[in-house]
Amino acid sequence: MLDLSESRAQIDVIDKEITRLFQKRIDVCRDVAAYKIQNNKKVLDKTRENQKLEVLSKLAEDSFKEHGICDLFTQVMAICRKRQYQIMKEEGVAQPVPFDCVDEIDKTNATVVFQGVEGAYSHAASMAYFGDLATYFHVPNFEEVMKAVANKEADFGVLPLENSSAGQVGDVYDLLTRYDNTIVGEYYLPVRHCLLGLKGADIDKIQTVYSHPQGLMQCGKFLNEHSSWQQISQANTAMAAQKVIKENNPKTAAIASETAAKLYGLEILEEGINDNKTNTTRFIIVSRKKCYRRDASKISIMFEIPHESGSLYTILSHMIYNDLNMTKIESRPIPEQPFEYRFFVDFEGNLADAAVENAILGIKEEAARLKILGNY
């Protein structure tokens, strides 16, 4: 039996030879890329790669080595594809992304739409982002926000995308897929829920509480302490406050903001009832204009992939290989395709960066569908 140092010496020699051959294979990729560019062929040829893996796997001496060979050459071919994408970019073959780079997002005399009514958290986020000079109006649901922007009734729309306690707002993710609006900004709003009632209401006599489903979820511990209360969902927290005013019943209450209490003349029966005291909602700002700020540093994309082993890794590997930091990933079911999903990814970068351009090109070529949701 060889000692460890002798075994490692053998491995070093083998690894040097593998490295030499690997670099030679990469060099050949330039000729392959040139042919594909000249003949307008896609970089990914799945049939060819499967045939290649089948031939190579037959050279294996046992099942363990067979699996290892397939894994190894799957990675080798993926890296070679990435080199071909780089060459395509260098040769100017790749289509540029259809976004305009601007110094600032123009908010001058902006018309802004949000879901809900005055006093809702969406209203607060809108005011915080755009200030007093914008013109605001509200609509009853998230889709109406997207429609108003798409139809030029509003310059910008403000939508909640996720909450630090309750997670994603799934409907908004779905709308980003369906509408051709672009994310141009975001705002993080701290959320502090309060229990609101009529003037003089007694918390011990409350029987019914109204709020948005997320508001009810985010106050689960408090509501468990009052398990006899009937919980009824509303379109948003401010509308819950309005309902308490409209019913004029001291036995009803709403979970909403301090702003809503002041706006509708309700009494705060208990403050800060949300489970997570650092509860925060991330709002996105959408526009129908496809643009991004020159100093934008976050990119959001959506992609769909084949329902097969390794397909998600294949797409995400383009970010890894181009040294891009992924900060978030979410999935949503694809309608009419049971148990198949589309993915939403945030990563750091700017659409003008070479690394981002290379990653986007690779993902576009290899995903079933890619949509750049925004750079902000």
Structure tokens at 160: 């909640």
Catalytic residue among 281, 303, 314, 344: 281
Q: What is the DSSP code string of 18-51?
A: HHHHHHHHHHHHHHHHHHHHHTT--S--HHHHHH
| Token couple for 198 | 């009529």
CA trace torsion 281, 285, 291, 297 (10° rounding): -20
Is 154 in contact with 234 (CB distance < 8 Å)? no
Active-site residue, from 283, 303, 344, 347:
283
DSSP element (H, E) containing 11: helix 4-38
Q: How far apart are CA 279 and CA 17, in angstroms?
A: 55
Phi-psi region of 109 (alpha: psi -120 to 50; beta: other; left: phi over 0): left
Amino acid at 65: K
108 is an active site residue:
no
Whether 281 is a known active-site residue: answer yes
Which residues face 316 on adjacent strands? none
* HSE value, Cβ hemisphere, 13 Å, CA-based, for 79: 12
Closest among 52, 54, 60 to 32, alpha carbons compared: 52
Q: Which two tokens stand for residue 228?
A: 């006899």
Look-up: residue for tokens 């190894």?
72
Give the three-class secondary structure for 270. Answer: strand
Which residues are catalytic, by number? Answer: 281, 283
